[in-house]
Chains A and B, each alone.
Chain A
């Protein structure tokens, strides 16, 4: 059912965990629908210096979370914001159609984390 790449990321997920003093945190999904992920980022010089995820969900949910951490690490924030769900699925060698919508939330979680970081930064400037 899953590509070898998906299974590789499921077996050995990259960057699992949470960053204790994260600069931005994004959570999407809902345990009710069966998938939920949280991505935390550390930003240095407008680049994603560190990124970690925690995911409750199926194989696709875990693999997409793991993949986005690889795609995003080291990117500047504007480029990271441009990563789409399709980019994540393509990097994994595709996802089963039924999983494209329900379990492919990692790109959204990353965007939320970056927005969170930017929101906080704006807040600080305003102080």
Chain B
């Protein structure tokens, strides 16, 4: 049976070039970068080169502005906690959006329990924040805004340049979670005037368990992880060498491939979305029709439930994902789908296809071939389906 993987937001394969670059750092170059001997020269150089490659990808001025973490979750935790607490003498108000990743939302909620105030900006039906609302929410005490570059679940891309202007006009710092966007969109931290940027390695076909945080020079920062003082005392713990080198190589490849791959994926995405909407009655797009990630086809189907669709897809060899309650540990539909105004029953019928490097036109064709029958079959079984719909299809 054909196997079609369309769950790239959840996990991507590591690029073979990345694996090749990592290998020597597992068995040949293992000197602890903090040691004095010559074994460590190579590993220190490996870290430095990786920083340079990542800096180039995001347009950072200096390679030292790239710090390594265990992944995007740590980067988000670190950036927000650090900026908020380091500046608390100036004020204790944070602004973020209601569709951030849980690693942003839960840190803000944690800070709220510890004397901070957080404003969670609403988003419109397409998943975009309103810039006028953002302006209005600033207080004298606002020190930080954390706004994601793009949302992995609905694909919507925020107007970061305009956000950054507003945030800085109000004298606050801007943290941007670029986990879903990195490797897909051209990001320039200087041009877009971003103070802190969360970067994920796996989003760029690098290994998991490694991530980065860009911190613009002069941005106040204090460590989250304390210990032996690695990474200039800012993030302790012996560096994850193979991970760092892998992430650097992934960034180098992303820099080369992003633009062509963006066009290719956008074409596949549009074919998938348009034909689903055309061929399956009562199907809808989640997120913004144009301002969306190239890999993201988020759709929903009335009268059926997401997990049932995923199980059917899986039986046909197709891997996708869902914001549906039943797939998660909690029974609530995803906070993102609720934030864009979907009713519970609408959110329950959502399916997320995220495309990647190895997906082809044939993969899209295969999904389009299989999906309508699955939806029809589930609708025939559903007590919610209007009678005329079953008789007509």
Residue of A nearest to B345 (CB): A31
> When the two chains form their complex, are residues A34 and B305 in contact, meaning their CB atoms are under 8 A apart?
yes
Q: Is the CB of A56 within 8 A of B304?
A: yes
In the complex, which residue of chain A has the Cβ closest to the Cβ of B307?
Answer: A58
Docked-complex contact B383 and A98, CB < 8 angstroms: no
Contact with B along A18-39 (1 / 0, CB 8 A): 0000000001000111111110
Of all chain B residues, the one with the shortest Cβ separation from A66 is B381
A34 and B383 in contact, given A56-B305, A57-B308, A102-B331 (Cβ under 8 angstroms): no
Interface residues of B in 364-384 (CB under 8 A from A): 380-384
CB of B311 within 8 A of chain A?
yes
Q: How far is the CA of A109 from the CA of B343 in the complex (A)?
A: 24
Nearest B-chain residue to A60, judged by Cβ: B326
- Interface status of B325 (Cβ within 8 A of chain A): yes
Which residue of chain A has the shortest Cβ distance to B381 in the bound complex? A16
* Residues in chain A near residue B306, CB distance under 8 A: 58
Asked if B381 and A34 make an inter-chain contact with CB atoms under 8 angstroms apart, the answer reads no
Q: Could you say which residues of chain B place their CB within 8 Å of the CB of A61?
A: 305, 308
A residues in contact with B348, CB < 8 Å? 31, 34
Residue of B nearest to A33 (CB): B331
Q: Which residues of A contact B311 (CB under 8 A)?
A: 7, 10, 59
In the complex, how many residues of chain A place their beta carbon closer than 8 angstroms to a beta carbon of chain B? 27
Decide: A16 and B380 in contact? CB cutoff 8 A: yes
Q: Which residue of B lies closest to A99 (CB)?
A: B326
- Tell me whether B136 is interfacial, beta carbon within 8 Å: no
- Our count of residue pairs bridging A and B at CB distance below 8 angstroms stands at 71
If A58-B324, A102-B326 touch, whether A27 touches B383 (CB-CB below 8 Å) is yes
Within 348-373 of B, Cβ neighbours of A (below 8 Å) are at 348
Question: A89 on the interface (CB 8 Å rule)?
Answer: no
Cα–Cα distance between A99 and B308 once the two chains are bound (Å): 13
How far apart are the CA atoms of A36 and B384 in the complex, in Å?
9
CA distance A32 to B348 in the complex (A): 8
Report whether A58 and B326 are in contact in the complex, using a CB–CB cutoff of 8 Å: yes
Which residues of chain B are within 8 angstroms of A34 by Cβ–Cβ distance? 305, 324-326, 331, 333, 344-345, 348
Look across to chain A and name the residue whose beta carbon is closest to the beta carbon of B333.
Answer: A34
What string of 1s and 0s marks CB contacts (under 8 Å) between B69-109 and chain A?
00000000000000000000000000000000000000000
Q: How far is the CB of A108 from chain B (nearest CB, A)?
A: 15
Alpha-carbon gap, A38 to B385, bound state (A): 12
Complex Cα distance, B381 from A38, in Å, reads: 10
Contact for A11 among B315, B331, B343, B381, CB less than 8 A: B315
Q: Does A64 contact B (CB under 8 A)?
A: no
Interface string of A86-112 (1 = CB under 8 A from B): 000000000000110011000000000
Against B, the Cβ 8 Å flags (1 = close, 0 = not) of A54-83 are 111111111000000000000000000000
Chain B residues with Cβ below 8 Å from A57 are: 305, 308, 326
Closest B residue to A16 by CB, please name it.
Answer: B381
Residues 274-333 of B contacting A (Cβ, < 8 Å): 303-308, 311, 315, 324-327, 329, 331, 333
A58 touches B344 (CB 8 A): no
Considering the chains assembled together, what is the distance between the CA atoms of A42 and B307 in angstroms? 31
Residue of A nearest to B348 (CB): A34
**A31-B344, A34-B324, A59-B311 as given contacts; A54 in contact with B331, CB under 8 Å:** no
Q: With a CB–CB cut-off of 8 A, which chain A residues contact B327?
A: 58
The complex places the Cα of A58 from the Cα of B307 at a distance, in Å, of 5
Residue of A nearest to B384 (CB): A56
Contacts of B308 in A (CB 8 A): 10, 57-59, 61-62
Known contacts A58-B326, A98-B329; A37 and B383 CB within 8 A of each other: yes
B305 contacts A35, C-beta separation under 8 Å: yes
Contact B344 A33 (CB under 8 A): yes
Known A16-B380, A34-B344, A34-B348; further 20 A-B contacts with Cβ < 8 A: A10-B311, A31-B344, A31-B384, A34-B345, A35-B305, A54-B381, A54-B383, A56-B305, A56-B383, A57-B308, A57-B326, A58-B305, A59-B308, A59-B311, A59-B326, A60-B326, A62-B381, A98-B329, A98-B331, A99-B326
Instruction: Sample 8 A-B pairs with CB under 8 A, ordered by A number.
Output: A32-B343, A33-B331, A56-B303, A57-B305, A57-B326, A58-B305, A59-B326, A98-B331
Q: Please give me the 3 A-B residue pairs with the lowest Cβ-Cβ distance, nearest first.
A: A58-B326, A58-B307, A31-B345
